Amino acid sequence: MRVSFHGAVREVTGSCHLLKVKDRHGVEHQYLFDCGMFQGESLCSDKNLKPFGFDASHVEAVFITHPHADHTGRLPKLVEEGFNGPICMTHPCAPLAKLVLEDAFQIMSEEAEKCGSSVLYERDDLIKTFSLVKGVGYHEEIQPAPGIHIYFHDAGHVLGSAYLSVEAEGKRLIFSGDIGNDDVPILPETEPISRATAVVCEATYGHRVHEPVSERETKLKAVLEQTIVEKGVLLIPAFSLERTQELLYAFDRILETQLHTRIPIFLDSPMAIRATELYRHFKQYLTFTTPVLASADQDFFSFQNLRETLTVEESKSINEVPPPKVIIAGSGMMSGGRIMHHLRRYLPSPTTTVLIIGYQAHGTLGRRIYEGAKQVRIFGKEVEVAAHVAAIGAFSAHGDMHKLTRWLTPEDGQIPKKIFLTHGDAEAKEVFATHLRHTLGTEVIIPTFHGEEEI
What mean pLDDT do residues 135-157 have?
98
Is pLDDT at 325 greater than 90 in this prediction? yes
What mean pLDDT do residues 202-228 have?
92
Q: pTM, whole model, 2 decimals? A: 0.92
- Cα(308)–Cα(265) distance, integer angstroms: 9
**pLDDT tens string 236-276:** 998 888 889 989 988 988 988 888 899 999 999 999 999 99
Distances (CA, A) of 54 to 20, 29, 78, 446: 11, 13, 10, 20
What mean pLDDT do residues 24-52 have?
87
Taking all residues of the chain, what is their mean pLDDT, rounded to a whole number? 93
User: What is residue 243's predicted lDDT score, i.e. its pLDDT?
Assistant: 86
Per residue in 129-150, is it b (16+ CB within 10 Å) or e — as a string?
bbebbeebeeeeebebbebbeb
β-partners of residue 172 are 167
Is pLDDT at 213 greater than 70 in this prediction? yes
Q: Domain segments of the chain: what residues?
A: 2-208+397-454, 215-395
In this structure, the strands spanning 352-356 and 388-391 are parallel
Q: How confident is the model at residue 75 (pLDDT cuts 50, 70, 90)?
A: very high
User: What is residue 290's predicted lDDT score, i.e. its pLDDT?
Assistant: 61
Among 22-26, 38-42, 306-310, 375-379, where is mean pLDDT lowest?
38-42
Classify 277 as helix, strand or coil.
Answer: helix
The residue with greater pLDDT, 209 or 289, is: 209
Nearest to 36 by CA among 55, 9, 2: 9
CATH match of 2-208+397-454 with 3.40.50.720: no
Classify 301 as helix, strand or coil.
Answer: coil
User: What is residue 289's predicted lDDT score, i.e. its pLDDT?
Assistant: 64
Burial label, 32 (beta-carbon count in 10 A; 0-12, 13-18, 19+)? buried
User: What is residue 375's predicted lDDT score, i.e. its pLDDT?
Assistant: 96
Is pLDDT at 315 greater than 90 in this prediction? yes
Q: Which CATH number fits domain 215-395: 3.40.50.720, 3.40.50.2000, 3.40.50.10890, 3.40.1000.10?
A: 3.40.50.10890
**pLDDT tens string 426-451:** 999 999 999 999 999 999 999 999 99
The percentage of residues in the chain with a pLDDT greater than 70, rounded to a whole number, is 96
- Cα(262)–Cα(279) distance, integer angstroms: 26
Q: How confident is the model at residue 294 (pLDDT cuts 50, 70, 90)?
A: low
CA 231 to chain centre: 32
